[in-house]
Structure 1
């Protein structure tokens, strides 16, 4: 998790980072991926930011999925149980949160 932390925390506009899925629940199997939700305060192109983080993680032996969302997207969709944002926020573990 240190690699994603350095890719993520190097960005001072990052709001928070969540680990979710089987790794967060504690029922991961060998080879299970790490699922992360990165929340950004700034207006970013979420796909490009996801690619930037994935490039930084290139060479990692663990399979990693990174979803990037802006705070406005999270506010709009966080209560919809059909969307991954809701799952990550309600079942995931907060790994980092920028302090005001």
Structure 2
């Protein structure tokens, strides 16, 4: 069963960004989180927004969810490119993440 906080974050991001995929990664996905651990979330979405503006849109969507969170928004092309790198956020999400949402 998914954590209610994760469900809320997922639902808000889906409504605001119409993503292709949302992945929880980091300590929360690995099951090693402490009570004060943040929620690391990767969002894959079709967008023409500059990288910084994508993050602003994501943070606005979940601003009233009172937990520490780090949300990264990438395009599908960036996702494909970065998932082959040896290190990085996307690689960690691909290898160790939990898919929270996938568009049909």
Answer whether TM exceeds 0.5 for this pair: yes
Residues 17 and 39 of structure 1 are in contact (CA less than 8 Å); yes or no, is this contact kept in structure 2?
yes
Secondary structure of 2:20's aligned partner: strand
Q: Are positions 1:48 and 2:43 aligned together? A: no
Structure 1 vs Structure 2 CA RMSD: 1.6
Q: Give the number of equivalent residue pairs.
A: 99
Residue in structure 2 matched with residue 82 of structure 1 by the alignment: 87
Give matches, 1:3-18, under 5 Å.
3-11=8-16, 13-18=18-23
List runs of 5+ in structure 2 lacking aligned partners.
Answer: 1-5
List runs of 5+ in structure 1 lacking aligned partners.
Answer: none
Which has the larger share of helix?
2
Which has the larger share of strand?
1
Residue in structure 2 matched with residue 61 of structure 1 by the alignment: 66
Worse overlay, 8-17 or 63-72: 8-17
TM-score scaled by structure 1? 0.87
Distance 2:57 2:46 in 1: 16
